[in-house]
């Protein structure tokens, strides 16, 4: 990228290996869910490195969250706790099932769900908790899992930002939750364009998710159409969904996964450079992971200090004027009309999320950025703040 170009907020890094695998898939004659999707699932389980994990490839993290909650029996009359500081997909899947959402506030330091707020929100209808690993930093899973165990709650991790994040020395996806769901959307730490992965130790949950991801059919298309004996017969055992991942997408994932740790190292290097450059500016930089842990650095979020001398929206406008793409993660759910009106929510109920949102900006952080691109972002931030 040249200095005259606009630096987008995010771009995927697709290499020759991914392209060759996609071409091989196209030439194979099998482009929907088939051998490449199975290989991607097996590779993902091996990547997480824990025995007994079942991986179910799906067409989005939203689909994975929906399938996990459905398999856990969440339904009308139930309540699921999650954070207000997330994308709507985390919560909307609960409503798909006719259950209610209970939103809680975040830890103001990490922007992850506040375990104390979770425990305070538990009521007689509470059946599950969905923690979100915001920006790629692990939520406080030891506390959350302890709370869930004491109250008999299921835990489904929204790990859309969290590959490869660690917690207690284990990769997210290999913890003791009931299910973990990853995203491979175009701007995530690895991508299949659109896609996701549901991970669980529960064989019954995985089996239910496999059936429900493809119309509730008792045998998936690959098994039926590649059988050595007549394989046309199938049964509909439930009113399922259309959530399968294609082999074309899985072909990308097979090679993106091999690069996940290298991608994380590059993102971490960019984050470290930002940390150093912004140390003396009126900005609050994101928290570092605990010693020995991995932060996936899906996002690099800064918060403007009260004395920054500029409003958040004006700061963003100056960055765009300087040719730097940026974003805000997130407009909290309590500010959106659907969630606000359905549950009669008010910003005063979520002070930490509200304060963070009003000062929060996400800066570019992705592996295709060169050192000069990182320098451009730093210079633009300094310029926007009026610092020479």
Cα gap 240→186, rounded to integer Å: 26
Comparing CA positions, the residue from 363, 356, 373 lying closest to residue 318 is 363
Mean pLDDT, the chain, whole residue set: 96
Cα gap 31→246, rounded to integer Å: 6
The helix (run of H) or strand (run of E) holding residue 199 is strand 196-200
Amino acid 52: pLDDT: 96
Active site residue 188: yes
Answer whether 325's CB lies under 8 Å from 339's CB.
Answer: no
Amino acid 1: pLDDT: 40
The pair of three-digit structure tokens given for residue 336, joined into one six-digit string: 């959106």
Neighbours of 150 (CB within 10 A): 10
Edge to edge, what strands does the sheet with 300-304 contain? 283-284, 300-304, 360-363
What is this structure's pTM? 0.96
Cα gap 133→206, rounded to integer Å: 22
- Three-state SS for 37? helix
- Asked if 16-258 and 260-384 have one fold, the answer is no
Cα gap 100→108, rounded to integer Å: 25
Q: What is the pLDDT of residues 323-367, one digit of tens each?
A: 999 999 999 999 999 999 999 999 999 999 999 999 999 999 999
Q: Does the pLDDT at position 2 exceed 60?
A: no
Cα gap 21→115, rounded to integer Å: 43
- Three-state SS for 212? helix
Q: Does the pLDDT at position 39 exceed 90?
A: yes
Cα gap 195→59, rounded to integer Å: 4
DSSP calls for 169-185 = TEETTSSSSSEEEEE-B
Q: Alpha helices, DSSP H only, in the chain?
A: 16-28, 35-48, 61-71, 89-96, 115-121, 141-151, 203-212, 221-225, 247-258, 260-278, 312-321, 337-343, 351-359, 371-384
DSSP state of 114: -
Instruction: Give 219's pLDDT tier (boundaries 50, 70, 90).
Output: confident
Answer whether 37's CB lies under 8 Å from 245's CB.
Answer: yes
Q: Does the pLDDT at position 221 exceed 80?
A: no
Q: Does the pLDDT at position 228 exceed 90?
A: no
All structural domains of the chain with their residue ranges: 16-258, 260-384
The helix (run of H) or strand (run of E) holding residue 132 is none
The pair of three-digit structure tokens given for residue 148, joined into one six-digit string: 């869930």
Amino acid 376: pLDDT: 98
* CA angle (17 as vertex; 11, 21 as ends), nearest 5: 105
Q: How far is CA 202 from the centre of its chain?
A: 21
DSSP state of 146: H
DSSP state of 56: E
Cα gap 153→242, rounded to integer Å: 28
CATH number of 260-384: 3.90.1150.10
- What average pLDDT score do residues 75-95 get? 98
The helix (run of H) or strand (run of E) holding residue 149 is helix 141-151
Comparing CA positions, the residue from 130, 139, 164, 158 lying closest to residue 48 is 164
CATH number for 16-258 (one of 3.30.450.20, 3.40.640.10, 3.40.50.1980, 3.90.190.10): it is: 3.40.640.10
Amino acid 233: pLDDT: 82
- The β-bridge relationship of strands 196-200 and 54-58 is antiparallel
Instruction: Give 232's pLDDT tier (boundaries 50, 70, 90).
Output: confident
Among 36, 127, 188, 228, the one annotated catalytic: 188
């Amino acid at each position: 990228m040249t200095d005259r170009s606009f630096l987008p907020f995010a771009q995927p890094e697709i290499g020759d290996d991914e392209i060759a695998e996609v071409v091989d898939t196209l030439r194979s004659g099998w482009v929907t869910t088939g051998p490449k999707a199975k290989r991607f699932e097996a590779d993902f389980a091996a990547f997480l490195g824990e025995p007994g994990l079942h991986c179910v490839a799906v067409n989005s993290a939203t689909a994975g969250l929906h399938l996990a909650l459905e398999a856990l029996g969440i339904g009308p009359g139930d309540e699921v706790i999650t954070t207000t500081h997330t994308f709507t997909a985390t919560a909307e899947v609960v409503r798909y099932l006719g259950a209610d959402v209970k939103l809680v506030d975040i830890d103001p330091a990490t922007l992850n769900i506040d375990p104390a707020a979770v425990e305070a929100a538990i009521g007689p209808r509470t059946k599950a908790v969905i923690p979100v690993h915001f920006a790629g930093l692990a939520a406080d899973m030891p506390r959350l899992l302890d709370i869930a165990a004491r109250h008999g709650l299921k835990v489904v991790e929204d790990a859309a930002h969290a590959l490869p994040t660690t917690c207690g020395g284990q990769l997210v996806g290999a913890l003791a939750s009931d299910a973990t769901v990853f995203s491979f959307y175009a701007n995530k730490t690895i991508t299949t364009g659109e896609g996701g992965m549901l991970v669980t130790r529960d064989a019954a949950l995985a089996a239910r998710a496999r059936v429900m991801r493809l119309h509730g059919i008792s045998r998936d298309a690959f098994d039926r159409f590649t059988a050595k004996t007549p394989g046309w017969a199938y049964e509909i055992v439930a009113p399922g969904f259309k959530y399968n991942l294609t082999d074309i997408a899985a072909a990308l994932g097979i090679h993106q996964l091999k690069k996940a740790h290298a991608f994380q190292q590059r993102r971490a290097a960019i984050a470290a450079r930002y940390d150093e450059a912004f140390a003396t500016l009126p900005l609050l930089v994101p928290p570092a992971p605990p010693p020995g842990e991995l932060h996936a650095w899906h996002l690099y979020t800064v918060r403007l200090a009260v004395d920054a001398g500029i409003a958040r929206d004006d700061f963003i406008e100056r960055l765009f004027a300087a040719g730097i793409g940026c974003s805000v993660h997130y407009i909290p759910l309590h500010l959106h009309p659907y969630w606000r009106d359905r549950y009669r929510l008010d910003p005063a109920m979520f002070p930490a999320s509200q304060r963070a949102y009003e000062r929060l900006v996400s800066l570019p952080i992705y592996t295709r950025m060169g050192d000069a691109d990182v320098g451009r972002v730093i210079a633009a931030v300094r310029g926007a703040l009026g610092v020479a």
